[in-house]
Chains A and B, each alone.
Chain A
Amino acid sequence: MIDTANTDLALFKKETREWLIANCPESMRQPVKNGFEEIYGGGRKAEFISEDQKIWFERMRDKGWTAPTWPAAYGGGGLSNAQGKILKEEMADLGCRAPLWSFGLMMLGPAILHFGTEEQKQKYIREICRGEIWWCQGYSEPGAGSDLAGLQTSAKDMGDHYIVNGQKVWTSYANKADMIFCLVRTDNEVPKQRGISFLLIDMETEGVSVQPIKLISGKSPFCETFFDNVKVPKENIVGRVNEGWTIAKNLLTHERTTVGNLFGSILPLHEFAVEAVGMENGKLADSTLRPEVARLMINSFGLKYAIDQTMDMTKAGHQPGAKSSFFKYYGTELNKDRYELMVALKGYEGLQWGETYEEGKLARDMCRTKGNSIEGGTTEVQLNIIAKHVLGLPIKK
């Protein structure tokens, strides 16, 4: 008997590969050197950094492959998960960069597909797939970091609209963004998690102002965003009033779906090490850092296998909840160690402070990784969650 599903997938794989080879410009198949700046983010004010970037984005957009597995009816690619996986693998294999990367794709889109109205899906999902709107995220506040549910930015019901007042912090790229998705307080009289709503606000509305934040790494995409009597239409609420916390939690559990490896291929750590310090008698010239390189590589492989395993569990219909609970903690700590090690391998050269990779961007990047274990739930919060919800350790009264 012929397995038609597998035959179709094999054909899809072949055609996809051929299409990618024919349509992905050579320069879009080179590893990224300067991080997010080299990946197209879209938006009203967007500019392409090269003709190739524009061609690559437009070709992928026209196939719906900026969001390959989202419904075609809203501008996505309409691919099955199996096809999406093949596309991802082929792109990784060819070293293709992501054609588009945005908070819309990563965060907001899945939430709107899940909780949004038909009108919201028609409008926002299409805009996200086509890279027309740059979204930023307004969650944290100066007084609400790890205790996010303690947020105070308020949206007052004025009948046909809301009036928003307050301040958000760590709103990445707020100075470039067209729209912001926010958690706002819509009820002060109930337990804190139950009085939060999920609201979409146009950054061009009167009363919205933005102030960039300079980080220890130098320049940064982060901003503070202020709301001073900002008028927001009622239809901009996603889900029900006071349901925002559920949406925010759901949004964080979404698999971070990006198309292909974001930055193309990454230089393996041992190759970086050999390039940095050279070899001596068949071994890495730095005998102290050599086992450290091996240790981090082993932990990276370990994390990869654990992630692979949860994907296999999901495919087989099991809930990998507990298994995936440590990925954020482990991955971010590993990334911090990795950058510390790269700086150590580079020695004085690794400490140079410059704008580009060649001028010494490594030290900046290393500083930036310190935020990995703070943003999106600190390492300590992650460990609390594992201790209480996975290991069932008692909560201290």
Chain B
Amino acid sequence: MALLLNEEQEMLKTSAKEYLNKQAPVAALRFLRDANDKTGYNKALWNEMAEMGWCALTIKEAYGGMGFGYVGLGQILEESGRTLTASPLVSTVLLGATLVELGGTEAQKQALLPLVAEGQLTLAVAFEEKNAHRPLAVETQAKVDGDDIVLSGKKVFVLDGHVSDKLIVSARKEGEIALFLVDANTPGLSIERQIMMDSRNAATVSLDGVKVKAADQIGDQSTLEKALDIARIGLAAEMLGTTQEAFERTIAYLKERVQFKVPIGSFQALQHRAATMFSEIEICKSMVLKALQDIDADSAELPVMASMTKAKIGEVIQLVTNEAIQMFGGIGMTDDEEIGFFLKRARVAQQTFGDYNYHLDRFASLNGF
């Protein structure tokens, strides 16, 4: 397949760019942050996103979706990365709905996916327990008690955990990792918001004898692993948007900021660093598109592709956001200037679903070395 967007995908990207620039610019995130907004995202905005079909993009038509594919969702994520838009796109659509589609029974898919597609249901996947991304280090227990499953344990860094209608929780059932669908208001569940540096949502989830039915199981370890690979690539698309925007703002600043009576962008010391970043970003653009296409093609190489892409974008977003602050100089250190928001979002996104080192290691292991 050609490494290009088709016309429909281009149109989707353009309309997302226009919409987000107008309705959810970086100032909107600042507003949510400064207002100590309990929800952490704008529900009216989320409803509009759903109306535009963004929640339905990757869901199959049989379940009320559009079957438009992950290349399409990737364009929305990339644009939302440029504006640092806070929304449940990653938790609910990218990870949650993907996981339901991969691991759900027919009944679960019929019950959940049409609601997600309409923007009526939000999902949070509670799979982390350690202080860094270790999706297979699961200690939460799922004890079988007749028809019931009793969940006990503690989850951290659950994206949108405190504002989701349902959670999908990983736990060990008879030693094996299994996933369970849990209503957010189930007794025994306590959820506490964690304030993160990017002003986006994450929560700690404690499960103290939370009872669900055996029929609430929604997939196993392989479901989680595949959904995570897809989510890694989708998040990489968001990070690509963030990287590009931070870079373009920096280049604009280099042209505008005058010192020693010349624009600082005329200094070769800065020009070469800018050109280096340009090159790295071009690599990321091609790689992210290839990875998104690989999801839609159901490629057997998806795990390698996911680790490659998440590692590379993690490396480049760190470079670009650091250089951005340095090149903005003193003004870049102020909260008034928006460039700092990019660095803060970058660091959280880098850790989410595995950072650079995690994925270099996984890439090596997957390649047999």
Contact = CB atoms under 8 A, between A and B. Distances in A.
B279 A270 contact: no
Given A302-B287, A302-B312, A309-B3, A390 B367 contact: no
Contacts of B285: 306, 309
B2 A330 contact: no
B263 A394 contact: yes
A361 B363 CA distance: 30
Given A283-B365, A309-B286, 7 more contacts: A270-B364, A302-B312, A305-B283, A308-B3, A309-B289, A383-B272, A383-B276
A293 B364 contact: yes
A284 B2 CA distance: 35
Contact of B367 (A270, A312, A380, A384): A270
Contact of A394 (B262, B276, B290, B369): B262
A267 interface: no
B290 A305 contact: yes
A33 interface: no
A1 interface: no
B369 A274 contact: yes
Contacts of B268: 384, 387, 396
A396 B267 CA distance: 7
Contact of B262 (A302, A309, A397): A397
B90 to A, nearest CB: 23
13 contacts: A294-B361, A294-B367, A295-B360, A301-B287, A301-B308, A308-B3, A326-B275, A386-B274, A387-B271, A391-B251, A392-B251, A392-B255, A394-B263
Contacts of B361: 290-291, 294
A268 to B, nearest CB: 9
B278 A391 contact: yes
Give the size range of B's interface with the partner: 35 or more
A182 to B, nearest CB: 31
A249 interface: no
Interface in B1-39: 2-4
B313 to A, nearest CB: 10
B274 A387 contact: yes
B286 A308 contact: yes
Contacts of A5: none
A305 B289 CA distance: 9
Interface string B253-265: 0110000001101
Contact of A326 (B251, B278, B312): B278
A323 interface: yes
Interface of B: 2-4, 251, 254-255, 262-263, 265-268, 270-272, 274-276, 278-279, 282-287, 289-290, 308, 311-312, 315, 357, 360-361, 363-365, 367-369
Given A316-B2, A394-B263, A329 B279 contact: yes
- Name the 8 nearest CB pairs between A and B, nearest first: A387-B271, A326-B279, A302-B283, A386-B275, A305-B286, A312-B2, A383-B275, A309-B3
Contacts of B263: 394
A383 B271 contact: yes
Interface residues of A, number: 45
A280 B114 CA distance: 49
B287 A386 contact: no
A273 interface: yes
B298 to A, nearest CB: 19
A279 interface: yes
A45 interface: no
Contacts of A397: 262, 266
Contacts of A391: 251, 271, 274-275, 278
Contact of A294 (B266, B282, B363): B363
B272 A330 contact: no
Contacts of A386: 274-275, 278-279
Given A305-B287, A326-B282, A393 B255 contact: yes
A333 to B, nearest CB: 9
Interface string A287-304: 000110111011101110
A313 B287 contact: no
Given A274-B369, A291-B357, A384-B271, A396 B266 contact: yes
B364 A284 contact: yes
Contacts of B3: 305, 308-309, 312
Interface string A369-397: 00000000000101110111011111111
Contacts of B271: 383-384, 387-388, 391, 393
Contacts of A316: 2, 4
A280 to B, nearest CB: 11
B23 to A, nearest CB: 29
A248 B322 CA distance: 39
Interface string A322-364: 0100100110000000000000000000000000000000000
Nearest to A316: B4
A330 B279 contact: yes
Nearest to B265: A393
Nearest to B291: A305
Given A313-B4, A315-B2, A298 B363 contact: yes
Nearest to B361: A291
Nearest to A308: B3
Nearest to B305: A301
Contacts of A273: 369
A303 B283 contact: yes
Contacts of A282: 365
A387 B3 CA distance: 25
Q: Give the interface centre of A279, A282, A316, A393 by most chain B CB atoms within 10 Å.
A: A393
Nearest to A313: B4
Contacts of B267: 396
A306 B312 CA distance: 14
